[in-house]
Amino acid sequence: MTLFDTIKKPTLLLNADQTRKNIQWMVQKANAEGIHLRPHFKTHQSAAIGEWFRDEGVTAITVSSVDMAAYFARHGWRDITIAFPVNWREIDEINDLAQQIKLNLLVESLETAQFLEEHLAKPVNVWIKIDVGNQRTGLSKTDPKTIAQVASAIEHSPMLNLKGLLTHAGQSYHAESVEAVQQIHTESLTQLKYIKNYLAVLGVARLEMSIGDTPTARLAPEFGSLVSEIRPGNFVFFDAQQLKIGSCCSDEISVALACPVVARHPARSEVVIYGGAIHLSKDSFRHDGKTAYGLVALPEGKGWGTPLDGAYVRAVSQEHGVVHLSPQDFERLQIGDLVCILPAHSCLTLQCMGEMLSLEGERFTTMNSQ
């Protein structure tokens, strides 16, 4: 009996060997350039996979919530950046963490700097979040005066230690080519350099620069002397979005959602799978001009093969996934068979599933496992 014979419902499979290779590649790139790798653990959310990073010499991490910071602190991580704007309502939990670990927080307003000054029980490190084009959070790169005001407030606070400027060029996930990602990277560094020089003239010097996102970390030919650390996360697994951008090859994608086929529709050359939005999420990408929620591979050996030409998850509802196939591949699939879906966004698929099953049959739990 093989692993696939045991699968009855949507199951997130993990290629552990490839995941370790992905980790090793990023560690080697950071080491070669002499910069600090602070990987984002929101992708895998697993204490066990965290140990694979520790095996490669990683000692500091990034997370996306106070709860995630507490989870990894319980598993021995002592240098953690919460890469999310400070939630004032969690100040008690933040203070608990600050007593246990070297805690790094993001600030992007005078109000939050003042709140932390008044409510922190112990000093913490602070990064000023700069928006370099993603338009999600952060102070605008076009408003250096406000950035300087926030920096000054932090520097004059005995409870806050200003580490530097932090960015996330999330617009790189929408890039259409490797060249476009590299252009985003170049523009981001240009903006950071301008702000750093502006602050230096005002006497705010010796600032570190922290940049995040997998596409630029993977595809930038070099980071240069400006960058102090990188915080990619998705590279640990990769996914169909990263494949489309050019950040990875299909054989570097190390997770796939195994889904049973439950219906066939010959007139549409489509099958319906048990695997919908509550398993894959509703994140999508453009595939040959169409909206896709994942690519499709078939079980092969102890894992899965390369994505089938022209095959993609066309639609998802709560439990259903609709998979479009070429006529030839449609004839290969019968009700009861399994397909392996390479998710649009591996971070959210794992968030939905809560756990993984390795190709060797080992269960990997996460902070969300029941």
Q: How far apart are CA 345 and CA 234, in angstroms?
A: 9
Per-residue pLDDT tens listing for the chain (370 residues) = 899 999 999 999 999 999 999 999 999 999 999 999 999 999 999 999 999 999 999 999 999 999 999 999 999 999 999 999 999 999 999 999 999 999 999 999 999 999 999 999 999 999 999 998 888 899 998 999 999 999 999 999 999 999 999 999 888 888 888 999 998 888 998 999 999 999 999 999 899 999 989 999 999 988 888 999 999 999 999 999 999 999 999 999 999 999 999 999 999 999 999 999 999 999 999 999 999 999 999 999 999 999 999 999 999 999 999 999 999 999 999 999 999 999 999 999 999 999 999 999 999 999 988 5
Q: How far apart are CA 330 and CA 309, in angstroms?
A: 12
Q: Give the pLDDT confidence score for residue 170 in this predicted structure.
A: 83
Which of 62, 253, 279 has its CA nearest to residue 166? 62
Q: How far apart are CA 101 and CA 36, in angstroms?
A: 18
Q: Which domains does the chain have, with CATH numbers?
A: 3-12+248-363 (2.40.37.20), 40-232 (3.20.20.10)
CB of 84 closer than 8 Å to CB of 42: no
Other beta carbons less than 10 A from residue 362's beta carbon = 11
